[in-house]
Protein backbone atom coordinates (compact mmCIF):
# COMPACT_ATOMS: atom_id res chain seq x y z
CA UNK A 1 0.00 0.00 0.00
CA UNK A 2 2.85 2.33 0.78
CA UNK A 3 4.30 1.92 -2.72
CA UNK A 4 0.90 2.52 -4.29
CA UNK A 5 0.47 5.66 -2.22
CA UNK A 6 3.84 6.95 -3.38
CA UNK A 7 2.93 6.26 -7.00
CA UNK A 8 -0.33 8.15 -6.63
CA UNK A 9 1.49 11.12 -5.11
CA UNK A 10 3.98 11.18 -7.99
CA UNK A 11 1.16 11.02 -10.53
CA UNK A 12 -0.67 13.81 -8.75
CA UNK A 13 2.44 16.02 -8.84
CA UNK A 14 2.98 15.22 -12.52
CA UNK A 15 -0.56 16.24 -13.35
CA UNK A 16 -0.05 19.56 -11.57
CA UNK A 17 3.13 20.50 -13.43
CA UNK A 18 1.45 22.07 -16.52
CA UNK A 19 -0.50 24.47 -14.31
CA UNK A 20 2.70 25.82 -12.79
CA UNK A 21 5.06 25.35 -15.72
CA UNK A 22 4.07 28.34 -17.83
CA UNK A 23 7.10 30.29 -18.93
CA UNK A 24 7.58 33.81 -17.62
CA UNK A 25 8.44 35.91 -20.68
CA UNK A 26 9.61 39.02 -18.81
CA UNK A 27 9.17 41.11 -15.67
CA UNK A 28 7.81 44.63 -16.02
CA UNK A 29 6.05 46.90 -13.57
CA UNK A 30 5.34 46.53 -9.89
CA UNK A 31 2.52 45.16 -7.76
CA UNK A 32 1.78 46.81 -4.41
CA UNK A 33 -0.79 46.45 -1.64
CA UNK A 34 -2.86 49.52 -0.72
CA UNK A 35 -3.05 48.77 3.00
CA UNK A 36 0.70 48.27 3.21
CA UNK A 37 1.24 51.57 1.41
CA UNK A 38 -0.97 53.33 3.95
CA UNK A 39 1.11 51.74 6.72
CA UNK A 40 4.28 53.14 5.15
CA UNK A 41 5.54 50.01 3.37
CA UNK A 42 6.24 51.19 -0.16
CA UNK A 43 8.00 48.03 -1.35
CA UNK A 44 6.34 45.97 -4.04
CA UNK A 45 6.83 42.86 -6.12
CA UNK A 46 7.64 42.69 -9.82
CA UNK A 47 4.82 42.01 -12.26
CA UNK A 48 5.58 38.88 -14.28
CA UNK A 49 4.15 38.35 -17.76
CA UNK A 50 3.35 35.16 -19.67
CA UNK A 51 3.09 35.01 -23.44
CA UNK A 52 -0.33 34.11 -24.82
CA UNK A 53 -0.02 34.41 -28.60
CA UNK A 54 2.83 36.81 -29.42
CA UNK A 55 6.51 35.78 -29.50
CA UNK A 56 9.62 36.28 -27.36
CA UNK A 57 10.80 38.88 -29.91
CA UNK A 58 7.59 40.95 -29.81
CA UNK A 59 8.63 42.58 -26.51
CA UNK A 60 11.94 43.81 -25.14
CA UNK A 61 13.19 45.98 -22.28
CA UNK A 62 15.04 49.23 -22.90
CA UNK A 63 16.14 50.37 -19.46
CA UNK A 64 12.95 50.86 -17.47
CA UNK A 65 10.83 50.97 -20.63
CA UNK A 66 9.00 48.04 -22.19
CA UNK A 67 8.91 48.15 -25.97
CA UNK A 68 6.20 46.32 -27.91
CA UNK A 69 6.96 45.88 -31.60
CA UNK A 70 3.30 45.27 -32.44
CA UNK A 71 3.65 41.97 -34.32
CA UNK A 72 2.27 39.40 -34.35
CA UNK A 73 -1.05 40.76 -33.14
CA UNK A 74 -1.83 39.27 -29.75
CA UNK A 75 -1.28 39.69 -26.02
CA UNK A 76 0.84 38.79 -23.03
CA UNK A 77 -0.92 38.28 -19.70
CA UNK A 78 -0.13 38.89 -16.06
CA UNK A 79 0.88 35.89 -14.00
CA UNK A 80 -1.88 36.61 -11.45
CA UNK A 81 -5.51 37.63 -11.66
CA UNK A 82 -6.73 40.89 -10.17
CA UNK A 83 -10.11 42.07 -8.86
CA UNK A 84 -10.10 45.54 -7.29
CA UNK A 85 -7.07 47.69 -8.01
CA UNK A 86 -5.62 50.98 -9.20
CA UNK A 87 -3.37 50.83 -12.25
CA UNK A 88 -0.95 53.58 -13.20
CA UNK A 89 0.82 53.39 -16.57
CA UNK A 90 2.61 55.71 -18.95
CA UNK A 91 2.61 54.96 -22.67
CA UNK A 92 3.52 56.46 -26.01
CA UNK A 93 3.13 55.42 -29.62
CA UNK A 94 6.18 55.61 -31.87
CA UNK A 95 4.24 55.46 -35.15
CA UNK A 96 1.48 57.73 -36.40
CA UNK A 97 -1.86 55.99 -36.21
CA UNK A 98 -0.56 53.31 -33.84
CA UNK A 99 -3.02 50.99 -32.09
CA UNK A 100 -2.72 49.22 -28.73
CA UNK A 101 -4.28 48.98 -25.29
CA UNK A 102 -4.37 47.17 -21.97
CA UNK A 103 -7.08 44.65 -21.10
CA UNK A 104 -8.32 44.37 -17.51
CA UNK A 105 -10.51 41.61 -16.00
CA UNK A 106 -9.40 39.64 -19.05
CA UNK A 107 -9.74 35.91 -19.79
CA UNK A 108 -6.46 35.88 -21.82
CA UNK A 109 -8.07 33.50 -24.32
CA UNK A 110 -7.77 34.90 -27.86
CA UNK A 111 -10.63 34.60 -30.30
CA UNK A 112 -9.93 33.06 -33.70
CA UNK A 113 -11.11 35.99 -35.80
CA UNK A 114 -8.89 38.71 -34.29
CA UNK A 115 -6.34 37.01 -31.96
CA UNK A 116 -7.54 39.19 -29.05
CA UNK A 117 -9.16 38.06 -25.78
CA UNK A 118 -12.29 39.05 -23.90
CA UNK A 119 -12.08 41.68 -21.16
CA UNK A 120 -12.45 45.41 -20.69
CA UNK A 121 -10.10 47.23 -23.04
CA UNK A 122 -8.48 50.50 -22.05
CA UNK A 123 -7.87 51.91 -25.51
CA UNK A 124 -4.56 53.44 -26.60
CA UNK A 125 -4.75 54.85 -30.12
CA UNK A 126 -2.39 57.45 -31.56
CA UNK A 127 -4.18 60.65 -32.62
CA UNK A 128 -3.57 60.23 -36.35
CA UNK A 129 -5.50 56.95 -36.35
CA UNK A 130 -8.69 58.81 -37.24
CA UNK A 131 -7.07 60.35 -40.33
CA UNK A 132 -5.75 56.98 -41.50
CA UNK A 133 -9.04 55.14 -40.99
CA UNK A 134 -11.73 57.21 -42.66
CA UNK A 135 -15.07 55.51 -43.18
CA UNK A 136 -17.09 56.34 -46.25
CA UNK A 137 -14.89 59.40 -46.67
CA UNK A 138 -15.63 60.66 -43.16
CA UNK A 139 -13.07 61.08 -40.40
CA UNK A 140 -14.01 59.30 -37.14
CA UNK A 141 -14.41 61.57 -34.09
CA UNK A 142 -11.23 62.28 -32.13
CA UNK A 143 -13.08 60.96 -29.06
CA UNK A 144 -12.41 57.49 -30.44
CA UNK A 145 -8.70 57.59 -29.74
CA UNK A 146 -8.12 59.18 -26.36
CA UNK A 147 -9.09 56.59 -23.83
CA UNK A 148 -12.16 54.68 -24.93
CA UNK A 149 -13.34 51.95 -22.57
CA UNK A 150 -15.37 48.99 -23.76
CA UNK A 151 -16.16 45.36 -23.23
CA UNK A 152 -14.19 43.36 -25.79
CA UNK A 153 -15.21 39.94 -27.03
CA UNK A 154 -17.66 38.26 -24.67
CA UNK A 155 -17.32 40.88 -21.90
CA UNK A 156 -20.22 43.33 -21.57
CA UNK A 157 -20.23 46.77 -19.91
CA UNK A 158 -22.47 49.80 -19.59
CA UNK A 159 -20.77 52.99 -20.86
CA UNK A 160 -20.81 56.26 -18.93
CA UNK A 161 -20.45 58.25 -22.17
CA UNK A 162 -21.98 56.05 -24.87
CA UNK A 163 -20.61 55.72 -28.37
CA UNK A 164 -22.69 52.70 -29.19
CA UNK A 165 -21.61 50.02 -26.72
CA UNK A 166 -18.32 51.83 -26.05
CA UNK A 167 -17.63 54.70 -23.68
CA UNK A 168 -15.80 57.72 -25.09
CA UNK A 169 -13.85 60.31 -23.12
CA UNK A 170 -15.63 63.60 -22.53
CA UNK A 171 -12.46 65.59 -23.22
CA UNK A 172 -9.51 65.00 -25.53
CA UNK A 173 -6.38 64.93 -23.39
CA UNK A 174 -4.10 62.47 -25.23
CA UNK A 175 -0.80 63.56 -26.76
CA UNK A 176 0.48 62.41 -30.14
CA UNK A 177 3.25 60.23 -31.51
CA UNK A 178 6.42 60.15 -29.41
CA UNK A 179 4.86 61.89 -26.39
CA UNK A 180 4.19 60.18 -23.08
CA UNK A 181 0.61 59.80 -21.87
CA UNK A 182 -0.38 58.91 -18.30
CA UNK A 183 -3.38 56.73 -17.48
CA UNK A 184 -4.76 56.09 -14.00
CA UNK A 185 -7.31 53.28 -14.10
CA UNK A 186 -9.44 52.57 -11.02
CA UNK A 187 -11.18 49.18 -11.17
CA UNK A 188 -13.65 48.34 -8.37
CA UNK A 189 -16.56 45.86 -8.37
CA UNK A 190 -17.37 46.08 -12.08
CA UNK A 191 -16.83 49.83 -12.36
CA UNK A 192 -13.85 51.46 -14.07
CA UNK A 193 -12.84 55.13 -14.03
CA UNK A 194 -10.08 56.42 -16.32
CA UNK A 195 -7.91 59.48 -15.84
CA UNK A 196 -6.02 60.71 -18.92
CA UNK A 197 -3.04 62.97 -18.25
CA UNK A 198 -4.30 64.14 -14.89
CA UNK A 199 -8.09 64.29 -15.26
CA UNK A 200 -10.86 61.69 -15.00
CA UNK A 201 -12.72 61.74 -18.32
CA UNK A 202 -14.27 58.30 -18.84
CA UNK A 203 -15.86 55.29 -17.18
CA UNK A 204 -17.87 52.08 -17.51
CA UNK A 205 -19.97 50.13 -15.02
CA UNK A 206 -21.59 46.75 -14.45
CA UNK A 207 -18.88 44.80 -16.23
CA UNK A 208 -19.84 41.17 -16.76
CA UNK A 209 -16.31 40.21 -15.60
CA UNK A 210 -14.81 41.64 -12.43
CA UNK A 211 -11.77 39.49 -11.75
CA UNK A 212 -9.26 38.40 -14.34
CA UNK A 213 -5.86 38.92 -15.89
CA UNK A 214 -4.16 42.04 -17.18
CA UNK A 215 -3.09 41.83 -20.81
CA UNK A 216 -0.72 44.05 -22.78
CA UNK A 217 -1.72 44.26 -26.42
CA UNK A 218 0.36 44.10 -29.60
CA UNK A 219 -1.76 45.40 -32.44
CA UNK A 220 0.45 46.20 -35.40
CA UNK A 221 2.47 49.22 -34.23
CA UNK A 222 5.39 49.94 -31.92
CA UNK A 223 4.35 51.19 -28.47
CA UNK A 224 6.35 51.86 -25.33
CA UNK A 225 5.25 51.50 -21.70
CA UNK A 226 6.88 52.70 -18.49
CA UNK A 227 6.11 53.19 -14.76
CA UNK A 228 3.45 50.48 -14.62
CA UNK A 229 2.12 50.02 -11.09
CA UNK A 230 -0.79 47.92 -9.90
CA UNK A 231 -2.01 48.76 -6.39
CA UNK A 232 -4.29 46.02 -5.08
CA UNK A 233 -7.33 47.11 -3.07
CA UNK A 234 -9.58 45.12 -0.77
CA UNK A 235 -11.68 42.45 -2.45
CA UNK A 236 -15.38 43.08 -3.02
CA UNK A 237 -18.48 40.98 -3.52
CA UNK A 238 -18.06 38.87 -6.63
CA UNK A 239 -20.10 36.01 -8.04
CA UNK A 240 -18.52 32.98 -9.74
CA UNK A 241 -19.77 34.19 -13.14
CA UNK A 242 -17.83 37.44 -12.64
CA UNK A 243 -14.48 35.58 -12.50
CA UNK A 244 -12.65 34.40 -15.60
CA UNK A 245 -11.38 30.85 -15.88
CA UNK A 246 -8.04 30.41 -14.16
CA UNK A 247 -5.22 29.47 -16.53
> What does the pLDDT look like over 189-212, one tens digit per residue?
999 999 999 999 999 999 999 999
Predicted local confidence at residue 46, as pLDDT: 98
Q: Compare 220 and 11 and report the one with higher pLDDT.
A: 220
Q: How many domains does the chain have?
A: 1
Predicted local confidence at residue 17, as pLDDT: 36
Which string of DSSP letters, residue by residue, matches the chain? -HHHHHHHHHHHHHHHHHHH-PPEEEEEEEEEEHHHHHTT----EEEEEEESSS-TTTEEEETTEEEE---SSEEEEEEEEESSEEEEEEEEESSTT-EEEEEEEE-----TTTS--SEEEEEEE-TTHHHHS-BTTBPPPGGGTS--EEEETT---EESSEETTEE--SS-----TT--EEEEEEEETTEEEEEETTEEEEEEE--S--BEEEEEEE-SS-EEEEEEEEEE-------GGGBPPP-
Backbone dihedral angles phi then psi of residue 155, each to the nearest 5 degrees: -80, 135
Within a domain: 230 = yes
What is the C-alpha radius of gyration for the chain, rounded to an integer number of angstroms?
19
pTM above 0.75, yes or no: yes
Within a domain: 18 = no
Domain limits for position 215: 23-242
Within a domain: 7 = no
Within a domain: 151 = yes
Confidence grade of residue 20 (pLDDT, cut at 50, 70, 90): very low
What CATH number is given to the structural domain containing 237? 2.60.120.560
- Tens of pLDDT, residues 207-245: 999 999 999 999 999 999 999 999 999 999 999 999 999
Within a domain: 55 = yes
Within a domain: 238 = yes
- Select from 34, 32, 87, 41 the least CA-distant residue to 233: 34
- Select from 152, 174, 153, 170 the least CA-distant residue to 162: 170
Distances (CA, A) of 225 to 28, 73, 79, 87, 180: 9, 17, 18, 13, 9
Within a domain: 83 = yes
Q: Cα dihedral sign for 111, 205, 129, 221?
A: negative
Q: If you average pLDDT over every residue of the chain, what do you get?
A: 91
- Tens of pLDDT, residues 60-110: 999 999 999 999 999 999 999 999 999 999 999 999 999 999 999 999 999
Within a domain: 215 = yes
Amino acid sequence: MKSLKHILIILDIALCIPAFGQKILFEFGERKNFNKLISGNKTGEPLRWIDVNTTDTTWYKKGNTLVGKGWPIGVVRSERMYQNFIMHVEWRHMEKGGNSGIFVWCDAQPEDHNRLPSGVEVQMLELDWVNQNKRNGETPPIAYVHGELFGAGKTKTIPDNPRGERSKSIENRCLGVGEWNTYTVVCVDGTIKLSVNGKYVNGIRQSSKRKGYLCLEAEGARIEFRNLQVIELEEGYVLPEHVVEKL
